[in-house]
Structure 1
Amino acid sequence: MKLTLKKIELTPPQILVLGFAAIILVGTILLTLPIASATGVPHSFLNALFTATSATCVTGLVVVDTGSSYTMFGQIVIITLIQVGGLGFMTMATLFAFMLKKRISLKERLVLQEAMNQGSMEGIVRLIRKVIRYSLTIELIAAVIFSIRWSMDLGPAKGIYYGIWHAISFFNNAGFDLFGSVTGPFSSLTSYASDPTINIVSMGLIVLGGIGFIVISDLLDFRVSKRLSLHSKVVLSTTGFLIVVGAIVIFIFEFTNQKTFGPLNWSGKVLAAFFQSVSPRTAGANTIDIGGMRQASQFFTIILMFIGASPGSTGGGIKTTTFTTLVGATIAMIRGKEDIVLFHYRLGKDRILKAITLTMIALFLVIIVSMVLSTTEDHPFLMILFEVTSAFGTVGLTMGLTPDLSDIGKVMIALMMFIGRLGPLTLAYALGPKTEKELYRYPEGKITIG
């Protein structure tokens, strides 16, 4: 009797899910090696899995301090996972294909289209070339500035190493840092709260990584084209609005808080306000103690983390375009308008439905996981909600809960980081059944709303 095996055909979303899972598994194995541990005692599989997931999903939540708990080998593994996870494993695979002069197949182009959240395959390879070129250039410029600045404090060798490492981490919106071995575990950039160079360069990296490569490409081509796409206009205006409003709100709430802004001078307060407004856009670094912030600031930060970065970027969250679409739909409904109009362009109903679907899935995920962790973790609900939202938005900010997570908590937060990086819809498409075209439609019915 002859047995035949049916060839398994994977869809682009399934390839993305399996690809990220494979990278996380390889990273986990490497981080469990004794050579990766600063003490020589191997990290547990669960802690290594959590760290590898956080790095690959460019989040920054850590159960052990990166700078003091890992050797240089472990740190290089982590920063490699961040670079691959931030740009996307398909982008990195395409880079190697370019180097080997290999042709990009139709299947690979479809996966790239899904990874970059593009509506079509047109110009996708050209976009990937730009992504690689822009990313490496931005990281190199930031690495040079960081290296010069930190060489003054840490010496040339360590300053250069820290400069390169943090340029990659911050541009990819990862939030990982090595200052635990310098200023104490989990200290992040708190010792540089008033340093203009570190603050401005870090914020620049976070914003550039968060607005997306399509927007960066649009901005660089503006001198020739003299126009920006609707996508770029929405991303830039929404990003600017959220950063300015976020900085003002945090400045007002924290101005007299002795645990955060109190010890800083005026310029330090302004820098800290802007940094803590930019960082929740999925970056994860902090210059003040997040646990010491007032509850109003912490809850406002949760909102910023939930919105997140922009499509086609290294960040997570529901994305700025989704947020703007929902706001536009609300305003249109209040005004009695049928269409959502942004910059003299009408949005299609499919865009609106996708925005609503994505937001509802994200809300349900955050609510359900927060409820579960409320029973497994003995901490205040706001702290748990903050942690879950940070994981979903691949932000990496924490009020101090991460190191105290139970084993169940670590697994749940790791899953949230994974879902947040891939996107709820991509994961749903990957796990769901193959959709077929409907052959008929039901008659329209009416229900009372509101």
Structure 2
Amino acid sequence: MKIKSILNVAKWSPPRILVTGFALIILLGGLLLSMPFASSAGVSTPFMDALFTATSATCVTGLVVVDTGSHYSIPGQIIIITLIQVGGLGFMTMSTLFALVLRKRISLKERLILQEAFNQTSMEGIVRLIRRVILYSLSIELAGAVLFSVRWAFDMPLGKAVYFGVWHAVSFFNNAGFDLFGQFGTPFVSLVGYVHDPIVNLVTMLLIILGGLGFIVIADLMDYRKNKRLSLHSKVVLSATGILIGVGAFVIFVFEFTNDATLGSLSWGGKIWASFFQSVSPRTAGANTIDISSMRQATQFFIVILMFIGASPGSTGGGIKTTTFTTLVGAVIAMIRGREDIVMFRYRLGRERIFKALTITMLSLALVIFVTMVLSTTEDKAFIRILFETTSAFGTVGLTTGITPDLSLVGKILISLTMFAGRLGPLTLAYALGPRTEKELYRYPEGKMTIG
């Protein structure tokens, strides 16, 4: 890559601008969080720990090396929740918001970047979509904040309950998984104290699901009354989300039913709430109501699969996405049945969609495998815990078996890079860092080889 082309920002591709923008926000966040005013003790936080937290917040992951509630001061917590909001909606969405408020025109270049950020196939209606994204996000977060505030007003002073309500509504809707409950005496406790609480469970799960569905699906659902129909994308996302949550809850319930360290000691109501919560959370949210490290290895591995699949396109979540997973399943079914096309809801998928799904999956697998292998060398931890941590970082989930605070410097750097790659997507990174592709002038003759 030539230095001249690097300096000429105007000629940068949308993926490169997205990668650079996120990197600069993370760096700024790391610098602010390392300052003495950002910590509750009034001392500087080691820069690598601050940068790790900033990466986790901006990439809406939730993995932390220090407890958020007890380590950071109010200003530090506000910096973190701001990074979560900017990272969840995307910095281009936030800049578009300011442009709309100031009545500035959105340029063609900015529309192209927004198209890339929301994984859209065209620029048509992109600004209208951004307006709706901002409106839906703020409305859902406000509703969640009100419900949380009312519930926690019974446990803490009203002012603190409102602060906690707003803070956690933003965190959970953006699928970040950060929480402040560690300040009450037990670090890294998450929502374990509310495992039986129906309001906290239900509101949190709804925020996570709505954040993970994607803004395109939410807009489609809001228009359903008028249009009386859903797009293929929305049908696939809603079907896949429902099936994954249902199957996930059933598997977790069965595997952990007799485990006294997780579900075994809970009432029937607690078992059901916890099973569904732990099934929803791997959709890239990161909150938990039972101890993840005490789960059986079979359950932990199953959660690894859920985290790898992740949320849906155009959402605040990570992973390979539900549509990618559904496309791969559809390809397998089509091959077994001897059909040439993948058909979903009476629509045929184009070959470029299948190739994209395969590319995303293979690049993601390669990243998770590589990082897991390296961390298995640098960290003295069980393999399943390292695989869990790596997949959690890639899927921007934030669930952990408890090894995050003990990571070495190399481990922190690798997990930070994995979170960054997971938030932007391996394909976007490849487009951003790779050379500009040129159109092929000719095609090679078709060859044949035996497969399988």
TM-superposed deviation, 1:7: 3.9
In 2, the alpha carbon distance for the partners of 1:27 and 1:301 equals 30
Q: Which stretch shifts more, 137-146 or 182-191?
A: 182-191
Alignment check: 8 A CA contact 1:37 1:69 kept: yes
Amino acid at match of 2:175: N
Could you tell me which residue of structure 1 aligns to residue 55 of structure 2?
53
In 1, the alpha carbon distance for the partners of 2:156 and 2:335 equals 57
In 1, the alpha carbon distance for the partners of 2:69 and 2:433 equals 37
Runs of 4+ off more than 3 Å: 4-8
Structure 2, unpaired ranges of 5+: none
Amino acid at match of 2:237: V
TM-superposed deviation, 1:176: 0.1
Could you tell me which residue of structure 1 aligns to residue 293 of structure 2?
291
TM-superposed deviation, 1:183: 4.8
Could you tell me which residue of structure 2 aligns to residue 304 of structure 1?
306
In 1, the alpha carbon distance for the partners of 2:144 and 2:170 equals 9
In 2, the alpha carbon distance for the partners of 1:198 and 1:279 equals 13
Superposed CA deviations along residues 405-435 of structure 1, whole A, max 9, x for unmatched, are 0000000000000000000000000001001
Could you tell me which residue of structure 1 aligns to residue 159 of structure 2?
157
Aligned pairs for 1:355-434 within 5 A = 355-434=357-436
Q: Which stretch shifts more, 4-13 or 66-75?
A: 4-13
Could you tell me which residue of structure 1 aligns to residue 94 of structure 2?
92
Alignment check: 8 A CA contact 1:210 1:313 kept: yes
TM-superposed deviation, 1:119: 0.3
Amino acid at match of 2:388: F
Equivalent position SS for 2:153: helix
Could you tell me which residue of structure 1 aligns to residue 193 of structure 2?
191
Q: Relative to structure 1, is the Cα distance of residues 183 and 218 closer, same or farther in structure 2, using a 3 angstrom cutoff?
A: farther
In 2, the alpha carbon distance for the partners of 1:126 and 1:387 equals 38
Of the three residues 297, 318, 326, the one matched with 1:324 is: 326
Structure 1, unpaired ranges of 5+: none
**TM-score of the aligned structures, taking structure 2 as reference length:** 0.98
Amino acid at match of 2:34: T
Superposed CA deviations along residues 260-305 of structure 1, whole A, max 9, x for unmatched, are 1122111111000000000000000000000000111100000000
TM-superposed deviation, 1:39: 1.2
Could you tell me which residue of structure 1 aligns to residue 64 of structure 2?
62
Q: Relative to structure 1, is the Cα distance of residues 7 and 361 closer, same or farther in structure 2, using a 3 angstrom cutoff?
A: closer
Aligned pairs for 1:151-230 within 5 A = 151-230=153-232
2:18 pairs with 1:16: yes
Could you tell me which residue of structure 1 aligns to residue 118 of structure 2?
116
Amino acid at match of 2:219: S
**TM-score of the aligned structures, taking structure 1 as reference length:** 0.98
Percent identical pairs in the alignment equals 72
Alignment check: 8 A CA contact 1:183 1:191 kept: no
Superposed CA deviations along residues 31-79 of structure 1, whole A, max 9, x for unmatched, are 0110001111210010000000000000000000000000000000000
In 1, the alpha carbon distance for the partners of 2:152 and 2:46 equals 32
Could you tell me which residue of structure 1 aligns to residue 449 of structure 2?
447
In 2, the alpha carbon distance for the partners of 1:176 and 1:435 equals 39
In 1, the alpha carbon distance for the partners of 2:310 and 2:180 equals 24
Superposed CA deviations along residues 200-253 of structure 1, whole A, max 9, x for unmatched, are 000000000000000000000000000000000000000000000000000001
In 1, the alpha carbon distance for the partners of 2:263 and 2:51 equals 35
In 2, the alpha carbon distance for the partners of 1:103 and 1:151 equals 43
Of the three residues 27, 30, 53, the one matched with 2:29 is: 27
In 1, the alpha carbon distance for the partners of 2:171 and 2:122 equals 30
TM-superposed deviation, 1:173: 0.0
Of the three residues 258, 270, 274, the one matched with 2:276 is: 274
Amino acid at match of 2:337: R
